[in-house]
Amino acid sequence: MRTALEQQVLAYLRRSRMLEPGDCAGVAVSGGADSVALLCLLEALRERLGITLAVLHFDHALRGAESEADAEFVAELARARGLPFFSAREDVAAEAARNGWNLEDAARRLRYSFFERTLREGRATHVGVAHTADDQAETVLSHLMRGTGPAGLAGIYPVAAGVVRPLLATRRAELRRYLEACGQGWREDATNRDTRRLRARIREQLLPQLQRDFSPSIVEHLAGLASLAREEEAFWAAIVEEQFDRYVHRAGESFLIGVQDLLAPLHWNAAPRAAISSLRPLTERLIRRLYEKVRGDRRELAANHVQQVIHLASESTSGRRISLPGGIHVEREFSRLVFLRARSLRAAAAGPRETGKPANAYQYSVTLPERGEAAVSVPELGRRYRLKVIDWPSAERETNCDHDALDADLLRAPLILRNWRPGDAYRPRGRRQPRKLNRMLIAGRIPGRERAGWPVLESQGRVIWARGMPPAHEFCAREGTRYGLVIEEDRL
């Protein structure tokens, strides 16, 4: 017969759908009471859940012989239960010193890296960790102490990137009573009570006082707050992703967004300042998402950094730039912002001064069919160009040349699609004199970083077309043209 705690955990697992029949849960066991209780609970429930188990242990090498004794204790737990055992050991202190991390951050990074390897190597489908309702309350309070927004109030997520937390609704004291009833021992880590650390002070001093003097249910209240905050964050995440996909464009390692799309992403019909004020929470989240896309995470990005980006978008002029933590830059280019890494900025700045081949130089030969299309992929730009030969109407038009199509019969091999080069010039449609393409790009407000890779088409050595510009006057389709050439562009 199952105990009340086992029934409670089973109901939570089913409600949250953390584990499904056929899954293999790698249980992260440190040797402490919470993780040992998680192993015992999942072992009692595994047949009911239809899952298999493995035991995982990460040795942080921080407590000498005690760490080694923890590892042996966990290995014996696995052996006694006939479960697969996987372990890893790393010198957390050395890694922290090497990378400038604090010990707690370094321990977490290396531990979760071990979990990721376990999942990647197929040793488990999920990793179960023993965070409890008490851990959730401590996390919310620690975020409040350091300063946080709604995202920080969400605390610990029940499921994240293959990691599941079956005990997040369970109190720590319940787990100890369960182990005592089972006659199962555990290991104590004295560092968990080291009140020089904020987390330990919250656990040993603040939470007990809050429970005693203010609310006996403070842990449950904080856990409930975290749950509500996660629901809000899930809603915002869906909205942000929708707006990100709609308005953000990628160019190599850079991400670009229009200033108005960032400041008023839903394009309400309100006055500009009212729209910006009402949508500020969405604007701030879009900025954090852009930063995350460039850097890979949101570490070190604080509220004041987000405000700097908003000021750049709303008040600054083209050419202004700000630096964010982690070597990320945001640059104003006319009516848009560009998020990029510092190394990308250096490469773009160095490109025009190099005497060798630019990093984004390309040249592709094109063979046109009599009818139909020729497709040219340009990985350097992440674009595909479709050169379509079509029947051209012979009806008289208001002007002799009022479109962007070329006369296919006038083109001569070799036909080359390549990047812009200094000195490129041609006579645009409707002009009497040739113009340098560089001046046309400047007049078209094309940012400097994009000009070096700007696509042009040449016929027998003559430039006849450039993206976004009028075609060469001598080659554009007109009255009497039989076959027109239309150039279309899409993403790879």
Residue 95 near residue 133, CB atoms below 8 Å: no
**235 domain residue, yes or no:** no
More confident residue, 267 or 35: 35
Mean pLDDT of 234-258: 91
Q: Cα–Cα distance between 29 and 128 in angstroms, integer?
A: 9
Looking at residue 345, its pLDDT comes to 52
Q: Is the dihedral of CA 262, 265, 268, 274 positive or negative?
A: negative
Indicate whether 313 and 415 sit together in one domain: no
**358 domain residue, yes or no:** no
Judged by DSSP in three states, 455 sits in: strand
The 3-class SS string of 324-373 reads: ECCCEEEEEECCEEEEEEHHHHHHHHHHHHCCCCCCCCCEEEECCCCCEE
Burial class (CB in 10 A: 0-12, 13-18, 19+), 320: middle
Indicate whether 382 and 338 sit together in one domain: no
Indicate whether 341 and 371 sit together in one domain: no
Mean pLDDT of 425-438: 90
Mean pLDDT of 215-227: 95
Residue 186 near residue 32, CB atoms below 8 Å: yes
Highest-confidence segment of 146-150, 311-315, 367-371, 403-407: 311-315
Highest-confidence segment of 23-27, 233-237, 407-411: 23-27
Indicate whether 194 and 277 sit together in one domain: no
Helical ranges in 132-171 per DSSP H: 133-146, 150-153
**414 domain residue, yes or no:** yes
Looking at residue 275, its pLDDT comes to 52
Indicate whether 368 and 395 sit together in one domain: yes
The domain boundary, picked from 296, 321, 348, lies at 348
Q: Alpha carbon of 14 to those of 46, 151, 158: distances in Å?
A: 12, 26, 13
The domain boundary, picked from 325, 348, 371, lies at 348
Indicate whether 159 and 219 sit together in one domain: yes
Query: What is the domain count for the chain?
Result: 3
Looking at residue 353, its pLDDT comes to 38
Burial class (CB in 10 A: 0-12, 13-18, 19+), 242: exposed
Whole-prediction pTM value? Answer: 0.68
Residues 6 or more apart whose CB falls under 8 angstroms from that of 248 comprise 255, 256, 257, 290, 293
**Residue 266's CATH number:** 3.30.465.60
* Closest C-alpha to 146, from 22, 302, 39: 302
What would the DSSP string read from start to end of 23-54?
Answer: -EEEEE--SSHHHHHHHHHHHHHHHHHT-EEE
* Closest C-alpha to 464, from 435, 440, 428: 428
Share of the chain above pLDDT 90, in %: 59
Looking at residue 251, its pLDDT comes to 81
Locate 14 and state its tokens.
């089913």
Q: How confident is the model at residue 400 (pLDDT cuts 50, 70, 90)?
A: very low
Mean pLDDT of 431-455: 85
295-338 residue pLDDT tens = 988 878 888 999 999 999 988 888 789 999 989 999 998 888 99
397 has a pLDDT exceeding 50:
no
Indicate whether 175 and 306 sit together in one domain: no
Residue 124 near residue 25, CB atoms below 8 Å: yes
More confident residue, 140 or 372: 140
Mean pLDDT of 263-279: 65
The domain boundary, picked from 198, 230, 262, lies at 230
Range of the domain at 315: 248-348
CB-facing half-sphere around the CA of 280: CA atoms within 13 A: 11
Burial class (CB in 10 A: 0-12, 13-18, 19+), 356: exposed
More confident residue, 269 or 413: 413
In whole numbers, what is the pLDDT of the chain averaged over residues? 88
Indicate whether 159 and 28 sit together in one domain: yes
**236 domain residue, yes or no:** no
The b/e string for 59-84 (b: 16+ C-beta within 10 A; e otherwise) is bbbbeeeebeebbebbbebbeeeebe
453 has a pLDDT exceeding 80:
yes
Q: Cα–Cα distance between 230 and 158 in angstroms, integer?
A: 10
Indicate whether 151 and 264 sit together in one domain: no
Indicate whether 270 and 379 sit together in one domain: no
43 has a pLDDT exceeding 60:
yes
56 has a pLDDT exceeding 70:
yes
Mean pLDDT of 116-131: 95
Q: Cα–Cα distance between 83 and 108 in angstroms, integer?
A: 25
Q: How confident is the model at residue 1 (pLDDT cuts 50, 70, 90)?
A: low
Locate 22 and state its tokens.
């056929």
Q: Cα–Cα distance between 422 and 444 in angstroms, integer?
A: 17
Q: Is the dihedral of CA 394, 399, 404, 409 positive or negative?
A: positive
Judged by DSSP in three states, 63 sits in: coil
Looking at residue 334, its pLDDT comes to 82
Residue 342 near residue 328, CB atoms below 8 Å: yes
Q: Cα–Cα distance between 93 and 4 in angstroms, integer?
A: 41
